[in-house]
Chains A and B, each alone.
Chain A
Amino acid sequence: MSAPDTAPAKRMAQEPRWKKLLKNPSGAAGVFLTALFVFLAIFGSWVAPYDPNEISVGPPIEGPSAEHWMGTDELGRDQTSRIVDAAQIAVTVSFLSVAIAFVVGSVFGIIAGYSGGWTDKILVRVMDVMFSFPALLLAIVIVAVLGPGLVTASIAIAIVYTPRFARVARGASLSVRQDLYIEAAKLSGVSPFRIARRHVIPNITASLIVLSALSMSTAQLAYASLSFLGLGTNPPNADYGSMLARARNFMTIAPWMIIFPAIALILLIVGFNLLGDALRDVLDPRSETEHGKIEGVEATI
């Protein structure tokens, strides 16, 4: 254990993780793109050249110009401002839905994996049923029940994603449960709650963080689809999906109304994907194994 030649290797491994993340070119690109959209989400109203919802700031349906870099829409609203403004909703939905799924899914997953027995069996069955719906179908039905809107769409996406987090948390805590140090903690009379908090949770956070980052991109994909189908935020709020849905009617005369929001949306999803991939490389040592890679691909779906 104290062999001298292992010391440098140990120090190498302790290089801060964020440094490793930024050294990786795709990780750096992911961090940059995500940071850009988070920045636009917070400071968008200062960056945007016009009020995103004000009509007739320019002539309707006009191509890109010096005053309106990305052109104007059918109501003469400035597209640049609307695309910047839409970042707020997009980022909020991604974070909100993944945060809810993360918390609810991990709690259920840890309880199921750690306690085993009947609790586990019931939770696994419930998850199986939720997995038997195609994701978007379940989200659409839930939004139909709750009514369209930013929060309800986030909740719908969160419900769809909760079983994924539960599955990863359950799997991870199942394997941790059999480790010797847990046995030792139990024998020395540590309460189950404390064991969960001190031993189980720290050991499964890495996989859950990786899953979160990858889920941000799929959550965004799902939300954009909901919004495109008219189940997202209510007008006049700018939203990539609904902007594209309306732009479809002016497709032949105003392709810029489609191209710019499409590019923004794709960049945001690419950013989340790059960040997730890089985080997996940095945080999850299993990612080199067959299992980890398959897990990763499943997660991106």
Chain B
Amino acid sequence: MIRFVAERLIGLVLVLFVVSAVVFFLGTFIPGDAATILVGSEGATPEQFERVREELGLNDPLIVQYANWMKGVVRGDFGTSPITGRSVNDEIKSQFPVSMELTLLATILSTVIGLPLGIFAAIHANRITDFIIRTTLLVTFSVPIFVAGILLLLIGSRWLGPLYTSTYTPISEGIGKNLQSMILPTLSIAIPVSAMTMQMTRTSMLEMLNRPFITTARAKGARRRNILYIHALKNAMSPILTLLGFQFGILLGGLFVVETIFSLPGLGRGLLTAISQRDYLLMMAGTMVIAATFVIVNVIVDLAYPILDPRQRDTT
């Protein structure tokens, strides 16, 4: 077990290191550099241009630039943005909680919706309910997150009245107001994602309910509720858990569109702005933070398997 955890953690560090290199070198390929943006393409003399490039270290070989950047990153310092003049750490610190709150709320909401519905669908599996459920699911997860967002915004602005606010309120100004501004963004991610949770729960539960040990439990006269929740659901959890790890990637992808639609000052919108302003340091930091969160969550999911499934404790 300790070896398993240690292996995962070392793997995590290695992946993060490679991710940082990929992010950095992809960043350098983006056409146009910070110097051009700072000096402006018109009216600047080549000398001015050169001086700014020299100051920003843009004339150093790429490897040196990468090493300098990494030196800061391992110490948790992403540098100061030459575009805004602000510390990248501060920007990320203000954006991260917004995005994490949104992801967390969406994960909770989609599980709360998807899991019971999936169990329900598995228990009531017959031709008619099955058809209705499968059709609803199919349409639901064919709705892109941004379309769900826009439609919710449309519904919200027309009919929801007091429930709807178009501006983001930070938690510091009251949790009620904050949650109010998060309802629609959370729903727009949670609805398509809950369809996936439901689909997976249904499949996984159906699979388990057909296993011989369920028949045995039934024959022994175990209570229906115990059979469902102790025997079946517990065993059905590991594919559902795998899906949660995958879904996290969709949730993080959803941040870009949802934060844009609902004007939330999070990582997704921050990253898009950084890209359009050629603010490399902020862009690299944002990408790193999002990718790292994704990798870490998946490692946590990996570590959770042996807890759920005793068979995996010895073999891995």
Contact = CB atoms under 8 A, between A and B. Distances in A.
Genuine A/B complex: yes
Interface of A: 26, 128-129, 132-137, 140-142, 144-145, 147, 217, 221, 224-225, 228-229, 241, 244, 247-248, 251-252, 255, 258, 262, 265-266, 269-270, 273-274, 277, 290, 293-294, 297-298, 300-301
A251 B153 CA distance: 9
Contacts of A145: 26, 29-31
18 contacts: A26-B138, A129-B15, A132-B15, A134-B249, A134-B250, A134-B252, A135-B253, A137-B252, A145-B31, A225-B145, A225-B146, A229-B260, A244-B150, A258-B154, A262-B150, A274-B138, A290-B207, A298-B246
Given A137-B291, A142-B26, A266 B150 contact: no
Contact of B153 (A135, A248, A274, A293): A248
A72 to B, nearest CB: 18
Given A132-B294, A273-B142, A301 B250 contact: yes
Interface string B139-170: 10111111100110110011000000000000
A14 to B, nearest CB: 28
A54 to B, nearest CB: 26
Given A136-B253, A225-B146, A273-B138, A262 B151 contact: yes
A141 B19 contact: no
B178 interface: no
Interface stretch (B82-90, B104-112, B195-203, B219-227): B195-203
B234 to A, nearest CB: 16
Contact of B144 (A144, A225, A277): A225
Contacts of A251: 150, 153-154, 157
Count class of interface residues, chain B: 35 or more
B15 A301 contact: no
Contact of A137 (B138, B141, B153, B290): B290
A66 to B, nearest CB: 25
Contacts of A229: 256-257, 260, 272
Given A145-B29, A244-B150, A251-B153, A217 B207 contact: no
Contacts of B158: 252, 255
B22 interface: yes
A244 B203 CA distance: 34
A130 B196 CA distance: 22
Given A140-B256, A293-B203, A297-B200, A270 B142 contact: yes
Contact of B287 (A141, A225, A265): A141
B31 A147 contact: yes
B237 interface: no
B261 interface: yes
B180 interface: no
Contact of A297 (B203, B249, B257, B283): B203
A140 B157 contact: no
B144 A224 contact: yes
Q: Give the residue among A217, A247, A248 with the most B Cβ atoms within 10 A.
A: A248
Contacts of B147: 224, 244, 262, 265-266
A291 to B, nearest CB: 10
B295 interface: yes
Given A140-B275, A144-B275, A244-B147, A225 B153 contact: no
Sorted from nearest, which 7 A-B pairs have the closest CB atoms? Answer: A136-B253, A269-B142, A134-B249, A134-B252, A270-B142, A145-B29, A144-B275
Given A221-B142, A301-B249, 12 more contacts: A134-B250, A135-B253, A136-B253, A136-B254, A141-B26, A145-B31, A228-B144, A229-B272, A247-B150, A262-B147, A266-B142, A270-B139
